[in-house]
Amino acid sequence: MSFADLIFTTATEGSVLIKNEGKMLPLKKGDSVCVFGRCQKDFHKSGMGSGGSVHVLYSTVLIDELLKAENSETAVFDRELVNVYEEWHKENPFDNGGGRWAGEPWSQKEMPVSKEMASRFAKNNSKAIYVIGRNAGEDKDLQAVKGSWYLSETEYDNLVNICSVFDEVAVIFNTCGIMDTSFINDSAFYGHIKAAAYVWMGGMEAGHSAAALLMGKENFSGKLSDTIAKIEDYPSTKNFGNEKENIYEEDIFVGYRYFNTFAKDKILYPFGFGLSYTEFKTQITECREDSLTVTIKAEITNTGNCSGKETLEVYLNAPDGKLGKASRVLAGFAKTGLLEKGQKETVTVKFNLEDFASYDDSGITGFAHSWVLEEGKYYVYAGSDSLNAEKVSFGEKDSICIGKTYAVKKCSQAGAPFKEFKRLKNENGNAVYENVPLNKNDLEKIIKENLPKEIPFTGNKGISFDDVKKDRNLMNDFIAQLDVKQLATIVRGEGMMSAKVTMGITAAYGGLSDSLHDDYKIPVAGCADGPSGIRVDTGREASLMPIGTQIACTWNPELIEELFIEEGKELVRYEIDSLLGPGINIHRNPLNGRNFEYLSEDPFLTGIIAAAEIRGLKKGGSSGTIKHYACNSQELCRNSSDSVLSERALREIYLKGFEIVVKDGHLVSLMTSYNPINGHWAASNYETVAMILRNEWKYDGLVMTDWWAKMNHCVKGGNATIKNAAYMIRARNDIYMIVDNDGAECNQYGDNIEECLSNGELTLGELQLCVKNILNFILQAPVSKRPLRALKEILEFNTECKAAPEGAKTVSERIDFIPDENTWLTVDHKGVYNISGTYIKESDDLSQSVTNIMIDGKPASSLECRSTAGVFTTVNASQVILNPGTYHVTLEHTKPGITVSKISFNSQVITPVSMGVIK
């Protein structure tokens, strides 16, 4: 299948049908249908922020695709109503928040549908569809208010009026995640809402896939990756959204782990639930256990009237024991291929009980800080969702019996909290609270005992990076040549919009100085925002995939691996070495705005799907950077709000998905998060990065910070700043992202690396080890397979305009100006021109914006624009070669709120040695 076909298939398989009374869907021949809701036209394709900022190749719109599919053998759609919405849309255009970062509203202004209007259209139509749109994302959480989590007043009133005259109404959720779904059964709608489906945001095939499902050209096979309940019933809600700290009081009881254990009656739609247009019969044919390895085989038969796919889900119920467990935990799953009517397939789920051991962070089992299997009976359930899966038997036994508690793996305390609080515990089916075990580590001692060895400095011995490519045993000898300044340059990434990599992507790292590049031949690697596709801020178009939640709802890792093979190939074509994704943080609460980038409330499903994405990217020739490690559970104050949680919850829930991907063996790059975890910012959190990720999991790949992350002292904690790069290095986080272009070698942000080396707070061996990880990443990255490009590739411009328009400015040695649509520059002689800009920007510190400088309508240079705190800032953009003639110069802002006070062209005589020329 082509990339577009795989995007379409993923969007269809990840859409979830949650209600279909009387088989209202799919729409059939003879149905005459009214489509209400403005998002039929303004159909969302992705969420807000960097994760969805792809200049898409094309997009598809639901109503357009429904009308395209309409013919004499299908349902028909009321064109008059379509036209009503078209005319209303002209007077009420889509509100993108002025293009501001996180400025788009959660929901769009909706056209009121009066009872009279609904009645008029009901006279000639038999069914109605109401499309509801919601959006959130980076820097914008949802809130439990109308128009966000809840229906707006207009949406509610519209549905009341539509349901008063239509007997069959379907609600279609074109949303970034789950929202309040309880209204479906509201008495105000008199039971007329017969069908409901989450079609999420399907990327560039969003409208096409949703239309195909509604028309019955494709069948729903998605399963929910989250439990749907009322917002007040999620145990995390009361501790969500605090600006200073979030207490993870619910502990391991996230999502269905909580509801299945304590509140089954609060579940509206269970985790793993999803309907189909056909029916299936599932018969367990084999259930055995051998040395704690459980094998479940099931014969699944399509007993309905159309083709479809079904998923077998297997859950484990461990004894409560002394630790207290969730009543069910997902242990495995398998999805069938496409089964025709009457066709059957045998699927197999296999897992080992030890992989689902519980973590004892208190020592109550006798095995402190260990993964433990407690004595007792372990029951296995199999079925189509977490709530309705049925117990399976092992011959004459109804369970697997562990006769004695034992430790599966002994660990060391790491990541435990310092703050006292009480956490939820299951005590024989009762919800009780206990004091959380506190951190007792002598971290200063642990760090000193685990300092890496220093590689003695030798100076330049003539070993180049090309030599290391041929013989990796030379890596230490190569690093020995680099002095402190060169080593520190390597651990600073540059960007965004660096000319040292594919213009328009997110960052550049590696051989960023003349000496590293020219003398040692270290290439510069580049990464691009994801995880739904490649973000290129020059406007270059790329493929847009479905959002992470929709990807997880496929429950189909084989399909997702195929999808990401194509994404890997596209990265290679764009000369990009890593996609910043997948995002795999846990859906702790449905209001987290960035949930659309993430996958699920369940760490096992998250890990399996994410591992498939990483394998696919590798097979496609590039790689992925999983993020955000860890506990990025809200967007409000995301770089300062402390995630306070137990060591057990951290390991069992919030790190488990990362662990699965790391141990899958294909991961080479990982990004830490902005937030502190138990008082230590993630990028400088020694316990989570050095002790767990590096030492326990044996991860030796690249670790990067999030963009403009803050760090604090690894032992003392305290205030965090972007200058504490030495503590990042000590925590075994390899590279700081990012300084401005050309800022790595000159230490633009004034970080404390060299200062801490001098005073003994950091060792040379620690710095060298981070550099080694970065260089090992580059060795296996696509950039090492490409010829070494110039450190900066300079664009050469020729113009057809030889006669200067009136008012054209002449460039001699230097010119300062403010470009507008009528700005023309006349060049008398060929030369190299350095471009710089002075600007001011009011916004969040972490907002990511760019101003492109266009010459004759083509991107020539870019200003990376962040918040300047009310102060005009001058930045160097790039250099160009201009041949004699007159050029039209304009500015293109990717986001509003940027005020440019001056653009400067400064003539240079000599082209730098490490520049290549692109004509």
Reduce the DSSP state of residue 489 to 3 states and report it: helix
One-letter amino acid for residue 210 of the chain: A
Reduce the DSSP state of residue 619 to 3 states and report it: helix
Rounded CA-CA distance 85/797 in Å is 46
Rounded CA-CA distance 482/611 in Å is 35
DSSP summary character for residue 146? B
- Chain center to CA of 116: 44
CA distances from 649 to 248, 355, 417, 518, 652 (A): 8, 16, 11, 48, 5
CA distances from 17 to 186, 272, 276 (A): 19, 12, 7
Q: Is the peptide bond before 496 cis (omega within 30 degrees of 0)?
A: yes
Rounded CA-CA distance 833/814 in Å is 9
Rounded CA-CA distance 590/596 in Å is 10
Paired strand residues for 906: 814, 834
Give me the helices (H) in 699-752, please.
725-730
- Three-class HEC string of 772-813: HHHHHHHHHCHHHHCCCCCCEEEEEECCCCCCCCCCCEEECC
Query: Which among 407, 402, 578, 400 is positioned nearest to 506, based on CA atoms?
Result: 578
Q: Are 169 and 189 within 8 A, CB to CB? A: yes
- Chain center to CA of 663: 20
DSSP summary character for residue 62? H
Q: What's the angle, vertex CA 515, arms to CA 454 and CA 474, rounded to 5? A: 45
CA distances from 186 to 154, 258, 566, 659 (A): 16, 25, 44, 42
One-letter amino acid for residue 95 of the chain: D
User: What residues contact 390, with CB distance under 8 A and at least 6 apart?
Assistant: 381, 382, 383
Catalytic, out of 251, 706, 740, 751? 706
Q: Which helix (H) or strand (E) holds 769?
A: helix 764-780
**706 classed as catalytic:** yes
Question: How does 792-828 read in b/e, with b if 16+ C-beta sit within 10 Å?
Answer: bbbbebebeeeebeeebeebeeeeeeebeeebbbbbe
Lateral strand order in the sheet of 492-494: 578-580, 524-529, 507-510, 492-494, 736-739
Neighbouring C-beta atoms of residue 388, cutoff 10 Å: 12
Q: What own/partner pairs with CB < 8 Å and gap ≥ 24 does 152-158 have? A: 152/107, 152/110, 154/109, 154/110, 154/112, 155/37, 155/107, 155/110, 156/183, 156/188, 157/112, 157/113, 158/36, 158/37, 158/110, 158/112, 158/113, 158/130
Reduce the DSSP state of residue 665 to 3 states and report it: coil
CA distances from 581 to 135, 396, 530, 624 (A): 20, 46, 5, 6
Structure tokens at 140: 């914008």
How do 669-672 and 702-704 pair as beta strands?
A: parallel
Q: Is the peptide bond before 738 cis (omega within 30 degrees of 0)?
A: yes
Rg (CA), the chain: 29
How do 736-739 and 492-494 pair as beta strands?
A: parallel
Rounded CA-CA distance 492/725 in Å is 9
User: What residues contact 4, with CB distance under 8 A and at least 6 apart?
Assistant: 204, 205, 543
Active site residues: 706
